[in-house]
């Protein structure tokens, strides 16, 4: 993982070197803030910088009310809105809650699942802790990487645009010229872009189908095809729109849209979030001969943990590896 990350840094540095050839170096300052040119030297909008979405899409793309947690159970009353946090998150109190949202799905706000896919989405939601790739620190995929609650950097080169994400050391390259596709499908897909006036249009394909769109269990297959559109709103805001097509899961294409905002701190950067190290106990703690994390006792609550061996997995098989 570290060698991969170092490679990502090298790629970013190379892209940055290319950018230096096309970006004007002259900037002026107003009230202590650097003024960025609206366009780079070749006339394209200047998307260079650190960006972040400020919304609730990573919890759920669709409009939803605030709720007690991603994992809930029936409360005293038999009403959906009266559910309470389930055991895995109850100790987190308000920090485990899900903020409400107007949603980012365009049109009627509904995701057009096929009937059989609706059942899978529901199962995903009910088994969020065991199934969400985010909890396992898998590469987030596109478009989810664009609206997770972490910053990402855009570096424009002459014929490539590089994006580096904080979460899981993820990265992607948008090829602005014709290139051969990847030898295999991937988490982050294969991105090929072009300009339509001021809008960067990117087609993304070659997904392995192992990602989710959000924590609500919305998912796709390996047939996913995206068309992203990046349109400048101002020097510090981009309208991000992506049309999603997946005939294995959805009855028709559908679209999400949101603004992306430039981080304006003078020292804004993307800091590595090494979540793989943080998720090791969650993913592999059941393989220990002696359980390590099994009890937490606070002032008002005690949490006991019993690990399960996943179905079809025999513990002694792992010890022999």
DSSP string of 252-302, one letter each residue: S-EEEEEEEEE---TT-----B-HHHHHHHHHHGGGSSS-SS-EEE-SS-E
Return the minimum-mean-pLDDT range out of 16-25, 153-162, 164-173, 179-188. Answer: 16-25
The enclosing domain of 116 has a CATH number of 2.40.128.20
pLDDT range class, residue 162, cuts 50, 70, 90: very high
Same domain, 186 and 237: yes
pTM: 0.84
Return the minimum-mean-pLDDT range out of 37-51, 107-121, 305-319. Answer: 305-319
Mean pLDDT of the chain: 87
Same domain, 310 and 171: no
What's the rounded Cα separation, in Å, for the pair 282 and 284? 6
Query: What range defines the domain where residue 293 resides?
Result: 287-319
pLDDT tens-digit series, residues 74-90: 888 776 667 898 988 99
Count up the domains in the chain and report the number.
2
Same domain, 229 and 305: no
Average pLDDT value for residue range 143-154: 98
pLDDT at 3: 44
pLDDT tens-digit series, residues 219-251: 999 999 999 999 999 999 999 999 999 999 999
Same domain, 46 and 159: yes
pLDDT at 319: 40
In a domain, 108, yes or no: yes
Same domain, 225 and 315: no
In a domain, 127, yes or no: yes
Same domain, 227 and 293: no
pLDDT at 313: 59
């Amino acid at each position: 993982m570290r060698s991969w990350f170092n490679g990502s840094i090298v790629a970013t540095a190379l892209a940055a070197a290319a950018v230096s050839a096309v970006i004007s170096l002259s900037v002026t300052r107003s009230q202590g803030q650097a003024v960025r040119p609206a366009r780079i030297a070749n006339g394209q909008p200047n998307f260079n910088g650190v960006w972040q979405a400020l919304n609730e899409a990573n919890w759920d793309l669709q409009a939803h009310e605030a709720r007690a947690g991603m994992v809930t159970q029936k409360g005293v009353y038999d009403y959906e809105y009266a559910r309470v946090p389930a055991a895995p998150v109850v100790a987190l109190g308000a920090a485990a809650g899900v903020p409400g949202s107007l949603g980012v799905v365009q049109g009627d706000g509904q995701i057009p699942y096929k009937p059989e896919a609706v059942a899978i989405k529901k199962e995903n939601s009910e088994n969020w802790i065991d199934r969400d790739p985010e909890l396992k620190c898998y590469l987030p995929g596109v478009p989810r990487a664009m609206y997770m609650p972490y910053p990402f950097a855009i570096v424009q080169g002459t014929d490539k645009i590089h994006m580096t994400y904080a979460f899981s050391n993820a990265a992607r390259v948008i090829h602005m010229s014709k290139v051969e596709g990847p030898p295999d499908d991937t988490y982050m897909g294969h991105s090929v872009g072009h300009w339509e006036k001021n809008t960067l249009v990117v087609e993304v394909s070659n997904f392995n189908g192992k990602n989710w769109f959000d924590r609500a269990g919305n998912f796709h297959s390996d047939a996913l095809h995206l068309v992203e559109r990046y349109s400048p709103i101002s020097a510090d805001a981009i309208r991000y729109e992506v049309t999603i097509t997946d005939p294995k899961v959805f009855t028709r294409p559908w679209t999400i849209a949101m603004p992306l905002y430039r981080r304006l701190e003078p020292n804004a950067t993307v800091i590595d979030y090494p979540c793989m190290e943080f998720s090791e106990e969650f993913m592999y703690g059941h393989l220990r001969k002696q359980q390590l994390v099994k009890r937490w006792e606070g002032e008002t609550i005690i949490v006991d943990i019993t690990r399960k061996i996943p179905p079809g997995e025999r513990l002694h098989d792992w010890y022999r590896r």
